[in-house]
């Protein structure tokens, strides 16, 4: 069996492949990475485990977690894939805030002399193991808003025309990578899982304000229900958590107004 040592020190010998190679003069920072772990086959509830490890200021947190997983604690479980903030796999609560581990650099978490970093699973979704949560309720909400383009007219031979300004209307909302950072930072969603959540509303916005789409009314109706936009209490956690810098609260407010004007 692989040797597992906890706590551990690293990492001049073993350096993860993903970690950018250190120019020699960049110092390694000593870190205490506190992870809220949970193994459904052994634990009743989560337990904090601290890993002592070294990393460079420019390393991504995902590099640090990979390092722990690959060389010290292979059972540490979390999702990740692209490593640069485009696939939306690695949303977690880092130092008390939702972020993507791959878009968070060590130097933004600790001071120049190292320090402690806490990592927890995102909230409001069932923890399956360690930092990995059940995403199904999140995607259920996504599917509930009819997240697909609808235009029943026969398509023209070429493209449907759309002005640059109309295309720009979708610039923010279409940028979403469904990472769930927003929905799981929302204080309403934590306590009320039936709220569709900011991510689903952003997706609805994407179609509601698409000049080519014809199902605006149906989507606004979905947004108008008890589980829709009206549950949002403008807490802004979503906007602050979004790794794609989508002004989510603004978009939600636009949808609220659109529902209002539709019904008026």
Footprint of ligand SF4 on residues 62-101 (CB under 6 A)?
none
Q: Which residues contact 23 (CB under 8 A, 6 or more apart)?
A: none
* 223 interacts with ligand FES by CB under 6 A: no
* 238 interacts with ligand F3S by CB under 6 A: yes
Query: Which residue, judged by CB position, is nearest to ligand HEM in the bound state?
Result: 233
Among 18, 49, 87, 150, binds ligand FES (CB under 6 A): 87
The tokens describing 47, both together, are 């337990």
Please report how close the Cβ of residue 33 comes to another protein at its closest, in angstroms: 17
In the complex with another protein, the residue whose CB is nearer, 35 or 222, is 222
* 28 interacts with another protein by CB under 8 A: no
Please report how close the Cβ of residue 240 comes to ligand F3S at its closest, in angstroms: 8
Among the listed ranges 75-83, 112-120, 221-229, 231-239, the one in contact with ligand FES (CB under 6 A) is 75-83
Task: Judge whether 154 and 144 are in contact, CB under 8 Å.
Answer: no
Site string for another protein, 194-233 (x = CB under 8 A): x-x---------xx--x-xx----x--xx-xxxxx-xx-x
Q: Under rule CB under 6 A, which residues in 101-130 are in contact with ligand FES?
A: 102
* 73 interacts with ligand FES by CB under 6 A: no
Q: Which residue, among 165, 84, 174, 73, has the nearest Cα to 119 in the 3D structure?
A: 73
Please report how close the Cβ of residue 240 comes to ligand SF4 at its closest, in angstroms: 10
Cα dist from 32 to 9, 14, 98, 104, 118, whole Å: 10, 18, 19, 16, 8
In the complex with ligand SF4, the residue whose CB is nearer, 127 or 178, is 178
Q: Determine the number of helices (DSSP H) and then strands (DSSP E) in the chain.
A: 8, 7
- Residues in contact with ligand HEM by CB under 6 A are 233-234
Cα dist from 92 to 76, 118, 124, 128, 180, whole Å: 14, 10, 12, 13, 9
Q: Which residue, among 88, 227, 218, 196, has the nearest Cα to 148 in the 3D structure?
A: 218
Map tokens 């929905």 to a residue. Answer: 183
Among 36, 53, 100, 170, binds ligand FES (CB under 6 A): 100
Task: Judge whether 131 and 121 are in contact, CB under 8 Å.
Answer: yes
* 141 interacts with ligand SF4 by CB under 6 A: no
In 115-225 the beta strands, taken as DSSP E runs, fall at: 115-120, 127-129, 132-133
Q: Which residue, among 17, 124, 21, has the nearest Cα to 71 in the 3D structure?
A: 17
Among the listed ranges 16-24, 30-38, 84-92, 140-148, the one in contact with ligand FES (CB under 6 A) is 84-92
* 126 interacts with ligand F3S by CB under 6 A: no
Give the span between the Cα atoms of 92 and 95, in whole angstroms. 10
Please report how close the Cβ of residue 41 comes to ligand FES at its closest, in angstroms: 26
Positions that interact with ligand FES (CB under 6 A)? 80-83, 85-90, 100, 102
């Amino acid at each position: 069996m692989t040797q597992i040592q906890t706590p551990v020190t690293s990492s001049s010998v073993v350096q993860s492949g993903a970690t950018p190679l250190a120019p020699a003069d960049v110092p390694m920072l000593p870190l205490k990475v506190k992870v809220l772990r949970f193994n459904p086959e052994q634990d009743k509830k989560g337990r904090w485990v601290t890993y002592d490890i070294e990393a460079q200021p420019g390393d991504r947190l995902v590099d640090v977690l990979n390092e722990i997983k690959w060389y010290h604690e292979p059972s540490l479980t979390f999702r990740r894939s692209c490593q640069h903030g485009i696939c939306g796999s690695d949303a977690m609560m880092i130092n008390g805030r939702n972020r993507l581990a791959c878009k968070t650099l060590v130097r933004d978490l600790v001071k120049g002399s190292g320090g402690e970093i806490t990592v927890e699973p995102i909230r409001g979704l069932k923890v399956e193991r360690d930092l990995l949560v059940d995403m199904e309720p999140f995607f259920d909400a996504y599917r509930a808003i009819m997240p697909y383009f609808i235009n029943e007219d026969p398509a023209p031979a070429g493209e449907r025309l759309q002005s640059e300004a109309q295309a720009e209307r979708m610039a923010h909302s279409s940028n979403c990578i469904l990472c769930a950072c927003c929905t799981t930072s929302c204080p309403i969603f934590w306590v009320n899982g039936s709220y569709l959540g900011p991510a689903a509303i952003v997706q609805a916005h994407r179609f509601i304000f698409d000049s080519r789409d014809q199902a605006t009314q149906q989507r606004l109706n979905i947004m108008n229900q008890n589980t829709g936009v009206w549950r949002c209490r403008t807490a802004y956690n979503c906007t602050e958590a979004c790794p794609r810098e989508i002004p989510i609260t603004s978009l939600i407010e636009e949808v609220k107004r659109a529902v209002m004007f539709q019904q008026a």
